Structure 1
Protein backbone atom coordinates (compact mmCIF):
# COMPACT_ATOMS: atom_id res chain seq x y z
CA UNK A 1 0.00 0.00 0.00
CA UNK A 2 1.53 3.32 -1.09
CA UNK A 3 2.10 5.78 1.73
CA UNK A 4 0.42 9.20 1.46
CA UNK A 5 1.69 12.25 3.36
CA UNK A 6 -0.90 14.98 4.00
CA UNK A 7 0.65 18.33 4.93
CA UNK A 8 -1.45 21.05 6.62
CA UNK A 9 -0.01 24.54 7.12
CA UNK A 10 -1.22 26.60 10.08
CA UNK A 11 -0.97 29.87 11.94
CA UNK A 12 -3.47 30.50 14.75
CA UNK A 13 -6.01 28.04 13.34
CA UNK A 14 -7.37 26.57 16.58
CA UNK A 15 -10.96 27.06 15.41
CA UNK A 16 -10.40 25.08 12.18
CA UNK A 17 -7.56 22.62 12.58
CA UNK A 18 -9.50 19.98 14.53
CA UNK A 19 -12.13 19.48 11.84
CA UNK A 20 -9.49 19.47 9.10
CA UNK A 21 -7.31 16.81 10.73
CA UNK A 22 -10.32 14.73 11.80
CA UNK A 23 -11.31 14.52 8.13
CA UNK A 24 -7.83 13.32 7.19
CA UNK A 25 -7.77 10.74 9.98
CA UNK A 26 -11.23 9.49 8.91
CA UNK A 27 -10.18 8.66 5.34
CA UNK A 28 -11.11 5.18 4.10
CA UNK A 29 -7.40 4.58 3.50
CA UNK A 30 -5.31 2.44 5.87
CA UNK A 31 -4.17 4.66 8.75
CA UNK A 32 -0.75 3.01 8.80
CA UNK A 33 -0.24 4.18 5.21
CA UNK A 34 -1.41 7.73 5.96
CA UNK A 35 1.04 10.27 7.37
CA UNK A 36 -0.37 13.50 8.83
CA UNK A 37 2.02 16.45 9.06
CA UNK A 38 1.21 19.89 10.49
CA UNK A 39 3.67 22.70 9.79
CA UNK A 40 2.93 25.65 12.04
CA UNK A 41 4.14 29.22 11.71
CA UNK A 42 4.40 30.48 15.27
CA UNK A 43 0.82 30.06 16.47
CA UNK A 44 -0.02 31.76 19.77
CA UNK A 45 -3.31 29.89 20.28
CA UNK A 46 -4.03 26.15 20.80
CA UNK A 47 -3.38 25.13 17.18
CA UNK A 48 -0.39 22.89 17.94
CA UNK A 49 -1.97 21.31 21.00
CA UNK A 50 -5.05 20.32 18.97
CA UNK A 51 -2.89 19.13 16.07
CA UNK A 52 -0.91 16.75 18.28
CA UNK A 53 -4.08 14.74 18.92
CA UNK A 54 -4.18 13.75 15.23
CA UNK A 55 -0.84 14.40 13.55
CA UNK A 56 2.20 12.17 13.26
CA UNK A 57 4.43 15.24 13.09
CA UNK A 58 3.87 18.81 14.32
CA UNK A 59 6.69 21.08 13.12
CA UNK A 60 7.58 24.76 13.12
CA UNK A 61 8.50 26.66 9.97
CA UNK A 62 8.01 30.10 8.40
CA UNK A 63 7.80 32.72 7.10
CA UNK A 64 5.14 31.97 4.43
CA UNK A 65 2.97 29.05 3.34
CA UNK A 66 5.27 28.05 0.45
CA UNK A 67 8.22 27.54 2.81
CA UNK A 68 5.94 25.65 5.20
CA UNK A 69 4.65 23.38 2.45
CA UNK A 70 8.13 22.71 1.05
CA UNK A 71 9.41 21.80 4.50
CA UNK A 72 6.56 19.40 5.15
CA UNK A 73 6.41 17.86 1.69
CA UNK A 74 10.15 17.62 0.96
CA UNK A 75 11.89 17.32 4.32
CA UNK A 76 9.37 15.58 6.57
CA UNK A 77 7.06 13.57 4.30
CA UNK A 78 7.92 9.92 3.67
CA UNK A 79 5.00 9.10 1.37
CA UNK A 80 5.07 8.22 -2.31
CA UNK A 81 2.33 10.84 -2.69
CA UNK A 82 2.07 14.23 -1.01
CA UNK A 83 -1.08 16.29 -0.52
CA UNK A 84 -1.30 19.78 0.95
CA UNK A 85 -4.29 21.40 2.65
CA UNK A 86 -5.15 24.65 4.38
CA UNK A 87 -6.38 24.41 7.96
CA UNK A 88 -9.92 25.48 7.03
CA UNK A 89 -10.42 22.60 4.62
CA UNK A 90 -12.29 19.31 5.14
CA UNK A 91 -11.92 16.18 3.00
CA UNK A 92 -14.76 13.85 2.20
CA UNK A 93 -13.89 10.32 3.26
CA UNK A 94 -12.74 8.82 -0.07
CA UNK A 95 -10.44 11.59 -1.35
CA UNK A 96 -7.07 10.05 -0.47
CA UNK A 97 -7.95 6.58 -1.73
CA UNK A 98 -9.39 7.88 -4.98
CA UNK A 99 -6.34 10.10 -5.55
CA UNK A 100 -4.00 7.11 -5.14
CA UNK A 101 -6.12 4.91 -7.39
CA UNK A 102 -6.23 7.57 -10.10
CA UNK A 103 -2.51 8.37 -10.07
CA UNK A 104 -1.44 4.75 -9.65
CA UNK A 105 -2.97 4.15 -13.08
CA UNK A 106 0.02 6.13 -14.36
CA UNK A 107 -1.68 8.76 -16.48
CA UNK A 108 -1.11 11.79 -14.23
CA UNK A 109 1.69 13.10 -12.01
CA UNK A 110 -0.68 15.30 -9.98
CA UNK A 111 -4.37 15.96 -9.45
CA UNK A 112 -6.67 18.92 -9.01
CA UNK A 113 -9.32 18.17 -6.38
CA UNK A 114 -12.72 19.88 -6.79
CA UNK A 115 -13.12 22.49 -4.05
CA UNK A 116 -16.50 23.37 -2.58
CA UNK A 117 -16.80 26.69 -0.73
CA UNK A 118 -18.97 26.38 2.38
CA UNK A 119 -21.57 28.78 3.70
CA UNK A 120 -25.33 29.22 3.40
CA UNK A 121 -25.40 33.01 3.05
CA UNK A 122 -25.45 34.83 -0.29
CA UNK A 123 -21.78 35.65 -0.78
CA UNK A 124 -20.46 32.24 0.30
CA UNK A 125 -22.94 30.69 -2.15
CA UNK A 126 -21.65 33.08 -4.82
CA UNK A 127 -18.06 32.05 -4.04
CA UNK A 128 -19.12 28.40 -4.25
CA UNK A 129 -20.68 29.09 -7.64
CA UNK A 130 -17.59 30.92 -8.92
CA UNK A 131 -15.19 28.23 -7.68
CA UNK A 132 -17.16 25.54 -9.51
CA UNK A 133 -16.00 26.97 -12.85
CA UNK A 134 -12.30 26.70 -12.04
CA UNK A 135 -11.93 22.95 -11.47
CA UNK A 136 -9.26 21.55 -13.77
CA UNK A 137 -8.55 24.89 -15.49
CA UNK A 138 -5.43 27.09 -15.37
CA UNK A 139 -7.14 28.95 -12.49
CA UNK A 140 -6.99 25.76 -10.41
CA UNK A 141 -3.98 24.31 -8.58
CA UNK A 142 -2.85 20.72 -8.01
CA UNK A 143 -3.16 19.42 -4.43
CA UNK A 144 -2.08 15.78 -4.65
CA UNK A 145 1.28 15.09 -6.29
CA UNK A 146 3.73 12.24 -6.73
CA UNK A 147 6.48 13.09 -4.29
CA UNK A 148 9.34 12.28 -6.62
CA UNK A 149 7.88 14.65 -9.20
CA UNK A 150 7.32 17.37 -6.57
CA UNK A 151 10.97 17.01 -5.55
CA UNK A 152 12.15 16.98 -9.17
CA UNK A 153 10.61 20.42 -9.83
CA UNK A 154 11.98 21.84 -6.57
CA UNK A 155 8.60 22.19 -4.85
CA UNK A 156 7.03 25.62 -4.53
CA UNK A 157 8.88 28.76 -5.52
CA UNK A 158 9.12 30.34 -2.06
CA UNK A 159 9.85 33.76 -3.57
CA UNK A 160 6.24 33.94 -4.81
CA UNK A 161 3.24 34.73 -2.62
CA UNK A 162 -0.09 34.15 -4.33
CA UNK A 163 0.66 32.61 -7.73
CA UNK A 164 2.96 29.91 -6.30
CA UNK A 165 0.22 27.30 -6.92
CA UNK A 166 0.01 28.29 -10.60
CA UNK A 167 3.79 28.29 -10.82
CA UNK A 168 3.92 24.76 -9.39
CA UNK A 169 1.33 23.56 -11.90
CA UNK A 170 3.38 24.92 -14.77
CA UNK A 171 6.51 23.17 -13.50
CA UNK A 172 4.63 19.90 -13.00
CA UNK A 173 3.22 20.06 -16.53
CA UNK A 174 6.77 20.13 -17.85
CA UNK A 175 7.06 16.55 -16.54
CA UNK A 176 3.57 15.10 -16.97
CA UNK A 177 -0.14 15.79 -16.99
CA UNK A 178 -2.36 17.06 -14.17
CA UNK A 179 -5.75 15.39 -13.92
CA UNK A 180 -9.03 16.29 -12.22
CA UNK A 181 -10.01 13.84 -9.48
CA UNK A 182 -13.77 14.07 -10.04
CA UNK A 183 -16.63 16.04 -11.53
CA UNK A 184 -19.84 16.81 -9.70
CA UNK A 185 -23.38 18.06 -10.12
CA UNK A 186 -23.22 21.67 -8.86
CA UNK A 187 -26.93 21.97 -8.06
CA UNK A 188 -26.96 18.75 -6.02
CA UNK A 189 -23.84 19.65 -4.03
CA UNK A 190 -24.97 23.27 -3.57
CA UNK A 191 -28.31 22.10 -2.18
CA UNK A 192 -26.62 19.65 0.18
CA UNK A 193 -24.10 22.05 1.73
CA UNK A 194 -26.56 24.97 1.88
CA UNK A 195 -28.84 23.18 4.34
CA UNK A 196 -26.15 21.96 6.73
CA UNK A 197 -26.36 23.23 10.30
CA UNK A 198 -23.03 24.78 11.29
CA UNK A 199 -22.33 22.38 14.15
CA UNK A 200 -22.98 19.37 11.90
CA UNK A 201 -20.69 20.45 9.08
CA UNK A 202 -17.53 18.41 9.83
CA UNK A 203 -19.28 15.04 10.22
CA UNK A 204 -21.65 15.70 7.32
CA UNK A 205 -18.80 16.52 4.96
CA UNK A 206 -16.48 13.70 5.99
CA UNK A 207 -19.35 11.31 5.26
CA UNK A 208 -20.44 13.33 2.23
CA UNK A 209 -20.77 10.43 -0.24
CA UNK A 210 -22.85 8.27 2.10
CA UNK A 211 -25.15 11.04 3.34
CA UNK A 212 -25.67 12.89 0.06
CA UNK A 213 -25.92 9.83 -2.17
CA UNK A 214 -23.37 11.43 -4.53
CA UNK A 215 -20.34 9.26 -5.32
CA UNK A 216 -17.94 12.20 -5.58
CA UNK A 217 -14.73 12.77 -3.59
CA UNK A 218 -14.52 16.48 -2.77
CA UNK A 219 -12.56 19.02 -0.76
CA UNK A 220 -14.61 21.55 1.24
CA UNK A 221 -13.29 25.04 2.04
CA UNK A 222 -14.88 26.81 4.99
CA UNK A 223 -15.66 30.41 3.98
CA UNK A 224 -18.95 30.54 5.88
CA UNK A 225 -17.89 33.61 7.89
CA UNK A 226 -17.52 35.75 4.76
CA UNK A 227 -16.32 39.32 5.24
CA UNK A 228 -16.10 41.42 2.07
CA UNK A 229 -13.31 43.67 3.33
CA UNK A 230 -11.19 40.74 4.50
CA UNK A 231 -11.84 38.91 1.21
CA UNK A 232 -10.64 41.86 -0.88
CA UNK A 233 -7.62 42.40 1.36
CA UNK A 234 -6.65 38.73 0.99
CA UNK A 235 -7.08 38.79 -2.78
CA UNK A 236 -5.00 41.95 -3.06
CA UNK A 237 -2.27 40.53 -0.82
CA UNK A 238 -1.93 37.47 -3.04
CA UNK A 239 -1.42 39.60 -6.15
CA UNK A 240 1.86 40.87 -4.69
CA UNK A 241 4.02 38.43 -6.66
CA UNK A 242 2.03 38.60 -9.89
CA UNK A 243 4.62 40.57 -11.83
CA UNK A 244 7.47 38.27 -10.73
CA UNK A 245 5.47 35.18 -11.74
CA UNK A 246 4.52 36.67 -15.11
CA UNK A 247 8.11 37.72 -15.80
CA UNK A 248 9.43 34.27 -14.85
CA UNK A 249 7.34 32.48 -17.46
CA UNK A 250 7.13 35.10 -20.21
CA UNK A 251 10.93 35.16 -20.37
CA UNK A 252 10.62 31.63 -21.71
CA UNK A 253 7.58 32.33 -23.88
CA UNK A 254 6.36 35.94 -24.32
CA UNK A 255 2.95 34.64 -25.40
CA UNK A 256 2.59 32.00 -22.67
CA UNK A 257 -1.02 30.71 -23.01
CA UNK A 258 -1.48 30.03 -19.29
CA UNK A 259 -0.33 33.53 -18.30
CA UNK A 260 -2.58 35.04 -20.95
CA UNK A 261 -5.58 33.24 -19.47
CA UNK A 262 -4.73 33.71 -15.79
CA UNK A 263 -4.23 37.46 -16.11
CA UNK A 264 -6.25 38.27 -19.21
CA UNK A 265 -9.54 40.07 -18.64
CA UNK A 266 -11.35 38.14 -21.39
CA UNK A 267 -10.68 34.70 -19.97
CA UNK A 268 -11.08 35.64 -16.29
CA UNK A 269 -14.36 37.50 -16.87
CA UNK A 270 -15.83 35.46 -19.70
CA UNK A 271 -13.91 32.53 -21.17
CA UNK A 272 -13.58 30.34 -18.06
CA UNK A 273 -17.31 30.67 -17.37
CA UNK A 274 -18.52 29.58 -20.81
CA UNK A 275 -15.99 27.03 -22.12
CA UNK A 276 -16.91 23.35 -22.32
CA UNK A 277 -20.62 24.09 -21.97
CA UNK A 278 -20.27 25.86 -18.61
CA UNK A 279 -22.42 28.75 -19.88
CA UNK A 280 -25.46 26.62 -19.10
CA UNK A 281 -24.64 26.82 -15.39
CA UNK A 282 -24.14 30.55 -15.72
CA UNK A 283 -27.58 30.99 -17.31
CA UNK A 284 -29.25 28.71 -14.77
CA UNK A 285 -28.18 30.86 -11.79
CA UNK A 286 -28.57 34.56 -12.72
CA UNK A 287 -28.56 35.81 -9.11
CA UNK A 288 -25.34 33.96 -8.31
CA UNK A 289 -23.83 35.09 -11.64
CA UNK A 290 -24.54 38.74 -10.82
CA UNK A 291 -22.96 38.38 -7.39
CA UNK A 292 -19.95 36.64 -8.91
CA UNK A 293 -19.33 39.42 -11.42
CA UNK A 294 -19.78 41.99 -8.67
CA UNK A 295 -17.01 40.32 -6.64
CA UNK A 296 -14.79 39.94 -9.70
CA UNK A 297 -15.28 43.65 -10.46
CA UNK A 298 -14.35 44.66 -6.90
CA UNK A 299 -11.24 42.47 -6.95
CA UNK A 300 -10.19 44.09 -10.23
CA UNK A 301 -10.78 47.63 -8.96
CA UNK A 302 -8.92 46.90 -5.72
CA UNK A 303 -5.97 45.47 -7.64
CA UNK A 304 -5.80 48.48 -9.97
CA UNK A 305 -6.00 50.87 -7.01
CA UNK A 306 -3.07 49.06 -5.39
CA UNK A 307 -1.04 49.30 -8.60
CA UNK A 308 -1.82 53.02 -8.84
CA UNK A 309 -0.68 53.61 -5.23
CA UNK A 310 2.53 51.68 -5.85
CA UNK A 311 3.26 53.62 -9.02
CA UNK A 312 2.68 56.91 -7.19
CA UNK A 313 4.97 55.89 -4.34
CA UNK A 314 7.79 55.04 -6.72
Structure 2
Protein backbone atom coordinates (compact mmCIF):
# COMPACT_ATOMS: atom_id res chain seq x y z
CA UNK A 1 0.00 0.00 0.00
CA UNK A 2 1.35 3.41 -0.94
CA UNK A 3 1.97 5.76 1.98
CA UNK A 4 -0.72 8.37 2.48
CA UNK A 5 -0.04 12.07 2.26
CA UNK A 6 -1.25 13.91 5.36
CA UNK A 7 -2.54 17.49 5.44
CA UNK A 8 -2.73 19.14 8.88
CA UNK A 9 -4.76 22.36 9.09
CA UNK A 10 -4.03 24.68 12.03
CA UNK A 11 -6.29 27.68 12.66
CA UNK A 12 -4.88 30.75 14.42
CA UNK A 13 -5.64 34.20 15.72
CA UNK A 14 -3.00 36.00 17.82
CA UNK A 15 -1.35 32.73 18.83
CA UNK A 16 2.30 33.79 18.84
CA UNK A 17 2.74 32.20 22.26
CA UNK A 18 1.56 28.77 21.08
CA UNK A 19 1.91 28.32 17.33
CA UNK A 20 5.63 27.52 17.35
CA UNK A 21 5.12 24.68 19.85
CA UNK A 22 2.28 23.24 17.81
CA UNK A 23 4.16 23.29 14.52
CA UNK A 24 7.37 22.00 16.11
CA UNK A 25 5.45 18.95 17.34
CA UNK A 26 4.19 18.31 13.81
CA UNK A 27 7.73 18.55 12.46
CA UNK A 28 8.85 16.02 15.10
CA UNK A 29 6.42 13.30 14.01
CA UNK A 30 7.74 9.82 13.24
CA UNK A 31 5.78 9.82 9.99
CA UNK A 32 7.93 10.83 6.97
CA UNK A 33 8.21 14.62 6.92
CA UNK A 34 7.96 14.78 3.13
CA UNK A 35 4.46 13.27 3.38
CA UNK A 36 3.14 15.84 5.88
CA UNK A 37 1.71 19.11 4.63
CA UNK A 38 1.16 21.91 7.17
CA UNK A 39 -1.47 24.52 6.37
CA UNK A 40 -1.91 27.48 8.74
CA UNK A 41 -5.07 29.57 8.33
CA UNK A 42 -4.86 32.81 10.29
CA UNK A 43 -7.67 35.20 11.12
CA UNK A 44 -6.19 38.71 11.01
CA UNK A 45 -3.62 38.29 13.78
CA UNK A 46 -2.04 41.50 15.03
CA UNK A 47 0.95 39.77 16.64
CA UNK A 48 3.70 37.77 14.90
CA UNK A 49 1.73 34.51 14.60
CA UNK A 50 2.11 34.41 10.81
CA UNK A 51 5.82 35.17 10.92
CA UNK A 52 6.41 32.28 13.30
CA UNK A 53 4.24 29.96 11.21
CA UNK A 54 6.22 30.88 8.09
CA UNK A 55 9.32 29.33 9.68
CA UNK A 56 7.62 25.94 9.50
CA UNK A 57 5.53 26.09 6.31
CA UNK A 58 5.10 28.21 3.21
CA UNK A 59 1.34 27.62 3.30
CA UNK A 60 0.14 30.41 5.58
CA UNK A 61 -3.17 32.00 4.64
CA UNK A 62 -5.64 34.62 5.91
CA UNK A 63 -9.30 33.74 6.29
CA UNK A 64 -12.18 34.61 8.60
CA UNK A 65 -14.50 35.26 10.22
CA UNK A 66 -14.50 32.15 12.47
CA UNK A 67 -12.96 28.68 12.85
CA UNK A 68 -15.44 26.86 10.62
CA UNK A 69 -14.62 29.04 7.63
CA UNK A 70 -10.91 28.82 8.40
CA UNK A 71 -10.98 25.03 8.51
CA UNK A 72 -13.01 24.66 5.32
CA UNK A 73 -10.66 27.02 3.54
CA UNK A 74 -7.63 25.12 4.80
CA UNK A 75 -8.96 21.78 3.64
CA UNK A 76 -9.76 23.30 0.24
CA UNK A 77 -6.02 24.06 -0.10
CA UNK A 78 -4.98 20.59 1.07
CA UNK A 79 -3.50 17.93 -1.19
CA UNK A 80 -3.46 15.06 1.29
CA UNK A 81 -5.20 11.69 1.41
CA UNK A 82 -5.59 12.07 5.19
CA UNK A 83 -6.73 15.27 6.89
CA UNK A 84 -6.24 16.43 10.47
CA UNK A 85 -7.17 19.71 12.15
CA UNK A 86 -5.61 21.28 15.23
CA UNK A 87 -5.90 24.43 17.27
CA UNK A 88 -2.73 26.46 17.68
CA UNK A 89 -2.40 25.60 21.38
CA UNK A 90 -2.27 21.84 20.73
CA UNK A 91 0.85 19.67 20.76
CA UNK A 92 1.13 16.16 19.33
CA UNK A 93 3.12 13.29 20.76
CA UNK A 94 5.50 11.86 18.18
CA UNK A 95 3.50 8.94 16.78
CA UNK A 96 0.05 10.54 16.41
CA UNK A 97 0.24 10.96 12.64
CA UNK A 98 1.88 7.60 11.96
CA UNK A 99 -0.60 5.62 14.04
CA UNK A 100 -3.56 7.61 12.73
CA UNK A 101 -2.61 6.72 9.17
CA UNK A 102 -2.27 3.04 10.11
CA UNK A 103 -5.76 2.94 11.65
CA UNK A 104 -7.33 4.83 8.74
CA UNK A 105 -5.72 2.41 6.29
CA UNK A 106 -7.36 -0.45 8.20
CA UNK A 107 -10.84 0.75 7.36
CA UNK A 108 -11.74 3.61 9.69
CA UNK A 109 -12.96 6.81 8.07
CA UNK A 110 -12.31 9.09 11.05
CA UNK A 111 -10.58 9.00 14.44
CA UNK A 112 -10.88 10.58 17.85
CA UNK A 113 -7.51 11.50 19.39
CA UNK A 114 -7.33 11.53 23.20
CA UNK A 115 -6.89 15.10 24.40
CA UNK A 116 -4.91 15.92 27.54
CA UNK A 117 -5.37 19.37 29.07
CA UNK A 118 -2.06 20.82 30.26
CA UNK A 119 -1.41 23.07 33.22
CA UNK A 120 -0.60 22.86 36.90
CA UNK A 121 -2.78 23.92 39.79
CA UNK A 122 -6.30 23.01 40.79
CA UNK A 123 -8.47 24.18 37.89
CA UNK A 124 -6.15 23.00 35.08
CA UNK A 125 -6.07 19.61 36.80
CA UNK A 126 -9.87 19.69 37.07
CA UNK A 127 -10.12 20.45 33.35
CA UNK A 128 -7.72 17.57 32.61
CA UNK A 129 -9.86 15.29 34.77
CA UNK A 130 -13.10 16.44 33.11
CA UNK A 131 -11.70 16.04 29.59
CA UNK A 132 -10.65 12.45 30.36
CA UNK A 133 -14.33 11.43 30.37
CA UNK A 134 -15.13 12.79 26.90
CA UNK A 135 -12.98 10.72 24.52
CA UNK A 136 -15.11 9.19 21.72
CA UNK A 137 -18.39 10.40 23.25
CA UNK A 138 -20.90 12.82 21.72
CA UNK A 139 -19.03 15.58 23.61
CA UNK A 140 -15.89 14.86 21.55
CA UNK A 141 -15.07 15.43 17.87
CA UNK A 142 -13.03 13.40 15.40
CA UNK A 143 -9.73 15.09 14.46
CA UNK A 144 -8.21 12.81 11.81
CA UNK A 145 -10.11 11.53 8.79
CA UNK A 146 -9.79 10.50 5.18
CA UNK A 147 -10.36 12.95 2.36
CA UNK A 148 -13.34 10.87 1.24
CA UNK A 149 -14.94 11.03 4.70
CA UNK A 150 -14.47 14.80 4.89
CA UNK A 151 -15.97 15.37 1.45
CA UNK A 152 -18.98 13.22 2.36
CA UNK A 153 -19.85 15.58 5.24
CA UNK A 154 -19.62 18.77 3.20
CA UNK A 155 -17.23 20.22 5.78
CA UNK A 156 -17.91 22.43 8.79
CA UNK A 157 -21.11 24.46 9.04
CA UNK A 158 -19.92 28.06 8.81
CA UNK A 159 -23.01 29.34 10.61
CA UNK A 160 -21.79 27.72 13.82
CA UNK A 161 -19.07 28.79 16.25
CA UNK A 162 -18.62 26.37 19.14
CA UNK A 163 -21.03 23.55 18.31
CA UNK A 164 -19.57 23.22 14.80
CA UNK A 165 -17.39 20.40 16.18
CA UNK A 166 -20.42 18.47 17.43
CA UNK A 167 -22.22 19.04 14.15
CA UNK A 168 -19.22 17.89 12.10
CA UNK A 169 -18.71 14.87 14.35
CA UNK A 170 -22.36 13.88 13.96
CA UNK A 171 -22.05 14.02 10.18
CA UNK A 172 -18.92 11.85 10.37
CA UNK A 173 -20.59 9.24 12.59
CA UNK A 174 -23.56 9.10 10.24
CA UNK A 175 -21.42 8.56 7.14
CA UNK A 176 -18.31 6.54 8.05
CA UNK A 177 -16.71 4.19 10.56
CA UNK A 178 -15.13 6.08 13.47
CA UNK A 179 -12.60 4.90 16.04
CA UNK A 180 -10.48 6.00 19.00
CA UNK A 181 -6.74 6.27 18.34
CA UNK A 182 -5.63 5.22 21.85
CA UNK A 183 -6.59 4.96 25.50
CA UNK A 184 -4.64 5.94 28.60
CA UNK A 185 -4.68 5.83 32.40
CA UNK A 186 -5.64 9.22 33.82
CA UNK A 187 -3.46 8.96 36.93
CA UNK A 188 -0.35 8.08 34.93
CA UNK A 189 -0.77 10.91 32.43
CA UNK A 190 -1.76 13.39 35.14
CA UNK A 191 1.43 12.57 37.06
CA UNK A 192 3.51 12.98 33.91
CA UNK A 193 1.98 16.36 33.09
CA UNK A 194 2.38 17.53 36.69
CA UNK A 195 6.14 16.90 36.48
CA UNK A 196 6.69 18.85 33.26
CA UNK A 197 9.35 21.58 33.43
CA UNK A 198 8.08 25.15 33.32
CA UNK A 199 10.16 25.86 30.19
CA UNK A 200 11.12 23.69 27.22
CA UNK A 201 8.31 21.26 27.97
CA UNK A 202 7.47 20.52 24.33
CA UNK A 203 10.16 17.80 23.89
CA UNK A 204 8.71 16.05 26.94
CA UNK A 205 5.28 15.99 25.31
CA UNK A 206 6.53 14.98 21.89
CA UNK A 207 8.57 12.15 23.47
CA UNK A 208 5.74 10.98 25.73
CA UNK A 209 5.57 7.44 24.32
CA UNK A 210 9.32 6.92 24.43
CA UNK A 211 9.83 8.38 27.90
CA UNK A 212 6.93 6.48 29.46
CA UNK A 213 7.04 3.36 27.27
CA UNK A 214 3.27 3.83 26.96
CA UNK A 215 2.13 2.98 23.45
CA UNK A 216 -0.56 5.67 23.49
CA UNK A 217 -0.25 8.62 21.09
CA UNK A 218 -1.86 11.69 22.66
CA UNK A 219 -2.84 15.24 21.84
CA UNK A 220 -1.93 17.81 24.51
CA UNK A 221 -4.00 20.99 24.83
CA UNK A 222 -2.14 23.86 26.46
CA UNK A 223 -4.58 25.48 28.89
CA UNK A 224 -1.77 26.28 31.33
CA UNK A 225 -2.85 29.92 31.67
CA UNK A 226 -6.31 28.99 32.96
CA UNK A 227 -8.46 31.94 34.01
CA UNK A 228 -11.93 31.12 35.33
CA UNK A 229 -13.68 34.22 33.98
CA UNK A 230 -12.04 33.92 30.57
CA UNK A 231 -13.02 30.24 30.42
CA UNK A 232 -16.65 30.98 31.31
CA UNK A 233 -16.84 33.91 28.88
CA UNK A 234 -15.52 31.74 26.05
CA UNK A 235 -18.06 29.01 26.79
CA UNK A 236 -20.86 31.57 26.83
CA UNK A 237 -19.75 33.00 23.48
CA UNK A 238 -19.78 29.54 21.95
CA UNK A 239 -23.28 29.03 23.29
CA UNK A 240 -24.60 31.75 20.98
CA UNK A 241 -24.74 29.21 18.12
CA UNK A 242 -26.64 26.53 20.03
CA UNK A 243 -30.08 27.48 18.72
CA UNK A 244 -28.88 27.25 15.12
CA UNK A 245 -27.25 23.91 15.85
CA UNK A 246 -30.34 22.48 17.55
CA UNK A 247 -32.50 23.66 14.67
CA UNK A 248 -30.48 21.59 12.18
CA UNK A 249 -31.52 18.29 13.72
CA UNK A 250 -34.93 16.65 14.36
CA UNK A 251 -36.80 17.65 17.51
CA UNK A 252 -35.78 15.45 20.41
CA UNK A 253 -32.65 14.21 18.63
CA UNK A 254 -30.88 11.88 21.11
CA UNK A 255 -27.38 13.26 20.44
CA UNK A 256 -28.48 16.87 20.86
CA UNK A 257 -30.35 15.92 24.02
CA UNK A 258 -27.22 14.39 25.50
CA UNK A 259 -24.94 17.25 24.45
CA UNK A 260 -27.14 20.03 25.83
CA UNK A 261 -29.25 18.27 28.45
CA UNK A 262 -28.40 18.21 32.14
CA UNK A 263 -28.86 14.44 32.71
CA UNK A 264 -26.06 13.43 30.35
CA UNK A 265 -23.73 16.44 30.71
CA UNK A 266 -23.87 16.35 34.52
CA UNK A 267 -24.17 12.61 35.09
CA UNK A 268 -24.37 10.24 32.12
CA UNK A 269 -21.03 10.98 30.49
CA UNK A 270 -19.21 10.66 33.82
CA UNK A 271 -20.88 7.40 34.85
CA UNK A 272 -21.22 5.33 31.66
CA UNK A 273 -18.88 2.44 30.82
CA UNK A 274 -17.63 2.18 34.39
CA UNK A 275 -16.20 5.69 34.46
CA UNK A 276 -17.97 6.35 37.78
CA UNK A 277 -15.02 4.62 39.47
CA UNK A 278 -12.78 7.52 38.43
CA UNK A 279 -15.17 9.96 40.12
CA UNK A 280 -15.09 8.03 43.38
CA UNK A 281 -11.30 7.85 43.48
CA UNK A 282 -10.87 11.61 42.87
CA UNK A 283 -13.58 13.32 44.95
CA UNK A 284 -11.83 16.72 45.09
CA UNK A 285 -11.46 16.81 41.31
CA UNK A 286 -15.05 15.67 40.90
CA UNK A 287 -16.18 18.56 43.12
CA UNK A 288 -14.18 21.04 41.05
CA UNK A 289 -15.52 19.58 37.83
CA UNK A 290 -19.13 19.92 38.93
CA UNK A 291 -18.44 23.47 40.07
CA UNK A 292 -17.21 24.34 36.55
CA UNK A 293 -20.15 22.52 34.95
CA UNK A 294 -22.57 24.45 37.17
CA UNK A 295 -20.92 27.79 36.37
CA UNK A 296 -20.99 27.14 32.62
CA UNK A 297 -24.70 26.28 32.83
CA UNK A 298 -25.38 29.34 35.00
CA UNK A 299 -23.59 31.68 32.58
CA UNK A 300 -25.49 30.18 29.65
CA UNK A 301 -28.84 30.76 31.36
CA UNK A 302 -27.88 34.33 32.27
CA UNK A 303 -26.95 34.96 28.66
CA UNK A 304 -30.30 33.69 27.46
CA UNK A 305 -32.20 35.83 29.96
CA UNK A 306 -30.37 38.95 28.75
CA UNK A 307 -31.56 38.44 25.17
- Report the TM-score, using the length of structure 2 for normalisation: 0.98
1:47 aligns with 2:49: yes
Moved over 6 A (4+): none
Task: Give how far 1:128 is off.
Answer: 0.1
1:25-40 matches, within 5 Å, as 25-40=27-42
Task: Give how far 1:56 is off.
Answer: 3.9
Task: Give how far 1:200 is off.
Answer: 2.9
Deviations 1:131-188 (CA, angstroms, capped at 9, x unpaired): 0000000000011111122122210000011100110111112211221111001100
CA–CA distance in structure 1, aligned partners of residues 257 and 203 of structure 2: 41
1:12-23 matches, within 5 Å, as 12-23=14-25
CA–CA distance in structure 2, aligned partners of residues 174 and 291 of structure 1: 34
Runs of 5+ consecutive residues of structure 1 not aligned to the other structure:
none
Task: Give how far 1:301 is off.
Answer: 0.5
1:273 aligns with 2:270: yes
Name the counterpart of 1:114: 114
CA–CA distance in structure 2, aligned partners of residues 201 and 55 of structure 1: 22
Name the counterpart of 1:292: 289
Deviations 1:236-256 (CA, angstroms, capped at 9, x unpaired): 011111011111112xxx231
Name the counterpart of 2:234: 234
Task: Give how far 1:267 is off.
Answer: 0.4
Deviations 1:21-56 (CA, angstroms, capped at 9, x unpaired): 000011000011100110011111111111011124
Runs of 5+ consecutive residues of structure 2 not aligned to the other structure:
none
Name the counterpart of 1:138: 138
1:306 aligns with 2:303: yes
Aligned length: 305
CA–CA distance in structure 2, aligned partners of residues 198 and 82 of structure 1: 32
Name the counterpart of 1:219: 219
Name the counterpart of 1:91: 92
CA–CA distance in structure 2, aligned partners of residues 56 and 150 of structure 1: 24
- Report the TM-score, using the length of structure 1 for normalisation: 0.96
